[in-house]
């Protein structure tokens, strides 16, 4: 199995790892596949499956953003 290396972009507007986008795309594809599987792979819903999977992944990613976790900040509690 080939080794994957993530490359960090050092641009303030593009602060992500290249490997992250591929992992995100694969996760979306997996979720869309599972949705199709649950409905017996009936044709005509492929785009709906993909768009719903994208929404789920985006919502999950927003919920766990570092700023929401307050990592490294003393809350005094």
Helix, strand, or coil (residue 54): helix
75 contacts: CB under 8 Å, gap ≥ 6: none
Both structure tokens of 40: 């017996």
Q: What is the pLDDT, as a whole number, of residue 62?
A: 82
Number of domains composing the chain: 1
Establish if 27 belongs to a structural domain: yes
Task: Specify the higher pLDDT residue, 67 or 28.
Answer: 28
Establish if 57 belongs to a structural domain: yes
Q: What is the pLDDT, as a whole number, of residue 52?
A: 97
Residue with tokens 């641009």: 11
Establish if 30 belongs to a structural domain: yes
Distance CA 27, CA 38 (A): 17
Residue 50 and residue 40 in contact, taking contact as beta carbons nearer than 8 Å: no
Establish if 53 belongs to a structural domain: yes
Q: What is the pLDDT, as a whole number, of residue 64?
A: 77
How do residues 22-62 score in pLDDT, each as one tens digit?
999 999 999 999 999 999 999 999 999 999 999 999 998 88
Establish if 77 belongs to a structural domain: no
Model confidence, pTM: 0.61
Establish if 48 belongs to a structural domain: yes
| DSSP tag of 28 | H
Q: What is the pLDDT, as a whole number, of residue 72?
A: 56
Establish if 54 belongs to a structural domain: yes
Q: Could you list the residue range(s) of the whole structural domain that residue 55 is in?
A: 18-64
């Amino acid at each position: 199995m080939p080794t994957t290396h993530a490359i960090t972009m050092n641009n303030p507007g593009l602060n992500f790892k290249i490997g992250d986008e591929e992992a995100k795309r694969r996760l979306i594809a997996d979720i869309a596949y599972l949705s199709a599987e649950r409905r017996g792979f009936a044709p005509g819903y492929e785009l709906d499956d993909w768009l719903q999977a994208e929404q789920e992944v985006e919502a999950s990613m927003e919920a766990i953003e570092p700023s929401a976790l307050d990592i490294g900040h003393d809350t005094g509690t």
